[in-house]
Structure 1
Amino acid sequence: MDPTSPSIPSYPTIVLKGLSIALCFFLLYHLILIVTQRWTKIKLTFPDRSRRLPNCENVEEIVNMCCKSLKEGFRASWWLPNGHAQTIYSAMADFSKDDQITYQRQLLRVTDGGTIGLDIYPPLSLRLPPDSPVILINHGLTGGSHESYVRNMVVWLTRPVGEGGMGGRAAVVNFRGCASTPLTSPHLYSTGSTIDLHTSVLYLSTLFPSAPMFGVGFSLGAAVMTRYLGEQGEKCRLRAGVVLCCPLDMRVVTYGLDSPHPLTRLYSLSMSHKILRSISPHLIPSSPLSHPTSHLHIHLPEIISLTKSLRRRITLKASKMLELVACTVGGGNELFPFETLDGFLSWSCPGNWIGSIKRPTLAISALDDPIVSSACLPYRAIRQSTHCVLATVSQGGHLGWFEGPLFGKDKHQRWHVKPTIEFLRGVLASQHPGKGMVEEMEVRQEGDWTWVGEVRWMVLEEVDEQGWSGSEEEGEASD
Structure 2
Amino acid sequence: MPVIQSHYKPPYYLPGGDLQTIVPALFRKVDGVNYSRERIFTADHDFLDIDWHGAAKNKIALLIHGLEASADKPYMRGMTKALSKAGFKLAAMNLRGCSGQLNVQPRAYHSGSTDDVETVISHILLNNDCEQLVLVGFSLGGNLVIKYLGEHKSDLPEKISRAVTISVPCDLEAGAARLDKRLSFIYRDHFLKTLKEKLQQRSEQLPFLLTSDQIKTIGSLHDFDNLYTSRMHDYQNALHYYRSCGAKNFIADVTIPTLILTAKNDPFFTSACLPYDECENHPNVFLEVPEEGGHVGFCVDFIAGKYYSEFRAVEFLTS
**Any idea what the Cα deviations from partners look like across 1:122-168, whole Å, max 9, x if unmatched?**
2xxx443xxx2100000000111110000000011011xxxxx2x11
Which residue, 247, 253, 273 being the options, matches 2:169? 247
How many residues get paired? 317
Give the aligned partner of residue 48 of structure 2.
116
Quick one: which amino acid aligns to residue 192 of structure 2?
Answer: S
Distance change (3 Å), C-alpha of 1:249 and 1:127: closer
Distance change (3 Å), C-alpha of 1:413 and 1:232: same
Quick one: which amino acid aligns to residue 134 of structure 1?
Answer: I
Could you tell me how far 1:182 is from its partner in structure 2? 4.4
Counterpart-to-counterpart distance in 2, 1:80 and 1:224: 29
Aligned-residue sequence identity (percent) comes to 24
Give the aligned partner of residue 323 of structure 1.
226
Give the aligned partner of residue 70 of structure 2.
144
Give the aligned partner of residue 200 of structure 1.
120
Distance change (3 Å), C-alpha of 1:182 and 1:273: closer
Give the aligned partner of residue 346 of structure 1.
243
Counterpart-to-counterpart distance in 1, 2:211 and 2:25: 29
1:155 matches 2:64: no
Counterpart-to-counterpart distance in 1, 2:18 and 2:73: 19
Quick one: which amino acid aligns to residue 75 of structure 1?
Answer: K
Could you tell me how far 1:235 is from its partner in structure 2? 2.2
Could you tell me how far 1:240 is from its partner in structure 2? 1.0
TM-score by length of 1: 0.63
Counterpart-to-counterpart distance in 2, 1:339 and 1:202: 30
Which residue, 228, 250, 256 being the options, matches 2:178? 256
Provide the secondary structure at the position in 2 that maps to 1:158: helix
Is the contact made by 1:178 and 1:278 (CA closer than 8 Å) also made in structure 2?
A: no
Give the aligned partner of residue 2 of structure 2.
45
CA RMSD for the aligned pairs? Answer: 2.0
Could you tell me how far 1:78 is from its partner in structure 2? 1.1
Could you tell me how far 1:258 is from its partner in structure 2? 2.6
- Highest Rg: 1 or 2? 1
Counterpart-to-counterpart distance in 2, 1:181 and 1:274: 13
Is the contact made by 2:136 and 2:164 (CA closer than 8 Å) also made in structure 1?
A: yes
Could you tell me how far 1:181 is from its partner in structure 2? 4.4
- Unaligned 5+ runs, structure 2: none
Distance change (3 Å), C-alpha of 1:354 and 1:113: same
Give the aligned partner of residue 377 of structure 1.
274
Could you tell me how far 1:291 is from its partner in structure 2? 4.9
**Any idea what the Cα deviations from partners look like across 1:226-273, whole Å, max 9, x if unmatched?**
10010111422221110100000011111122323x3x1222222222
Distance change (3 Å), C-alpha of 1:259 and 1:120: same
Give the aligned partner of residue 195 of structure 2.
275
Quick one: which amino acid aligns to residue 40 of structure 2?
Answer: L
**Any idea what the Cα deviations from partners look like across 1:290-336, whole Å, max 9, x if unmatched?**
155xxxx43123345x2xxxxx67xx22211222221123x4xxxx1
5 Å matches for 1:301-450?
301-304=212-215, 306=216, 316-329=219-232, 331=233, 336=234, 338-404=235-301, 408=303, 410=304, 412-426=305-319
1:85 matches 2:7: no
TM-score by length of 2: 0.92
Distance change (3 Å), C-alpha of 1:396 and 1:279: same
Distance change (3 Å), C-alpha of 1:299 and 1:360: same
Counterpart-to-counterpart distance in 1, 2:113 and 2:316: 26
Moved over 4 A (4+): none
Distance change (3 Å), C-alpha of 1:300 and 1:218: same
Is the contact made by 2:25 and 2:74 (CA closer than 8 Å) also made in structure 1?
A: no
